[in-house]
Structure 1
Amino acid sequence: MPVAMTVDIVGSRRMPDREAAQRALDDAIARVAADLPVAQTPLHPTVGDELQGVYPTLDAALATTLLVQLALPDIVECRFGLGIGPTGLVPSATGDIPDGPAWWAARPAIDHVHALEQRAVPSARTWVIAHQGESDAVHAEARRANAYLLVRDQVVGGMSERARRLTYGRCFGATQRALAAQEGVTQSAVSQLLAASGASAVVEGYRLLVP
């Protein structure tokens, strides 16, 4: 079942350099799309600070959101709303318009993330909602994904920019020695930072999404 993804930038109106943040986001998305080319419709800007894309499965969408979070520098954070359901296009004189139940679910998903962020779970960045017409099994899948995401976002949100870079590299099998050379630090420093940041659990979770 397709998954529609809506993305926006956390605190975009308060950013001192919105253009720099957008460049960083564009670079991160391009990197992820090259390293994990799974999108049906790649993430692309729509209006303001919002982006949209479509993924063939929930696992593909979850893996993509993780990699984007890991690839981003400290100057920009994103929240992600994922909607499970059919997608389609509505013909228009100015070009086809994406529409359908997955998009109807993605919008309240990102709104829910924002609400969580403002209340009890400030680390929340990602949420999944299945369209009401989906089966009980699909709704159960969305609930399980959200349980995972609450913890994953907490771990990733607590990482330093360097820890996120290292974790990204480990997701694609880079050795600690190679990462140490890339960062200009010792292999021991890489090992200690990965262990302290919870990176191993994040990497193992990623590998379950992309077997």
Structure 2
Amino acid sequence: MSHPKTSPCCATLIGDLVGSRTAPDRHALHREVTAALQGASDLVPPATPLAITAGDEFQGTYDALGDALHTALWLRVHLLPSRIDMRFGLGWGPVTMLDSARNTQDGPAWWSARDAIESAQANEERPGLRAVRTVYRRAVAGGPAPEPINAALVCRDHLLGLLDERSLRILAGLMDGTTRAELAQREGISASAVSQRAVRDGLEVILTACEALRSVR
């Protein structure tokens, strides 16, 4: 009889859709989210695949917390222009593999991610934190400290909540390496208008925070 195997510490990511039960076409919603999960996985390969587990929830693991944080932002930024929003709980700690054939996992990292996403959901009842969709918890000492990371996430999510659809599309393009000239042509505006939005709407601030958070190991 095989026994569950506990792996070294890793980052766990749980995401779910906000308000998806009221979507007019849930099949189309599922297709768009599935495509986004594949795009995120192509950009930042997870340790275990991002997969929809039940209903509107999906999960995956990463060797580095920064990769999980970047994935969460990439998904939100690329889906928000379609009016699809997500909340995320991230955890850090050991993971126990219960069934390798079915990739069934358990362990402190998952418990901390579950606690984090429940905290993210609770933010919706707090007017001042309603825009905060991403929360990180640490299950064991020695991993990335949650206090500075959550401070950055609060500010990042607040800025995202202030963006209109055009600024979100521009931010998504900048994250993907699209030039400002190409974004201007795509949006039907001038390159200077793209630059003005990047400054006025804090897109440069979000990108700078994004790079700093992505370096977290």
TM over 0.5: yes
- 1:117-156 to structure 2, matched below 5 A, reads 117-120=124-127, 121-131=129-139, 134-135=140-141, 137-138=142-143, 141-156=145-160
Query: 2:193 maps to what in 1?
Result: 189
1:30 maps onto 2:43 in alignment = no
Cα gap change, 1:11 to 1:106, in 2 (>3 Å): same
Cα gap change, 1:180 to 1:129, in 2 (>3 Å): same
Question: Partner of 2:13: helix, strand, or coil?
Answer: strand
Deviation at 1:193, TM superposition (A): 2.1
Residue type matched to 2:143 in 1?
V
- Separation in 1 of the partners of 2:58 and 2:86? 10
Question: Partner of 2:143: helix, strand, or coil?
Answer: helix
CA contact (8 A) 1:81 1:126 kept: yes
CA contact (8 A) 2:15 2:89 kept: yes
Cα deviation digits, residues 131-174 of structure 1 (max 9, x gap): 1xx11x536x1111111101100111221222122112222433
The answer for unaligned runs of 5 or more in structure 2 is 1-8
How many aligned positions are there?
Answer: 205
Cα deviation digits, residues 64-103 of structure 1 (max 9, x gap): 11111111133210000011111121038x7341111111
The answer for unaligned runs of 5 or more in structure 1 is none
1:2 maps onto 2:10 in alignment = yes
Percent identity of equivalent pairs: 37
4+ residue stretches of structure 1 with deviation over 6 A?
none
Deviation at 1:41, TM superposition (A): 1.5
- TM-score, normalisation: structure 2: 0.87
Deviation at 1:210, TM superposition (A): 4.0
Residue type matched to 1:204 in 2?
T
- Separation in 2 of the partners of 1:65 and 1:95? 24
Question: Partner of 2:54: helix, strand, or coil?
Answer: coil
1:102 maps onto 2:109 in alignment = yes
Cα gap change, 1:185 to 1:59, in 2 (>3 Å): same
Residue type matched to 1:158 in 2?
L
CA contact (8 A) 2:99 2:105 kept: no
Query: 1:161 maps to what in 2?
Result: 165
Deviation at 1:113, TM superposition (A): 0.4
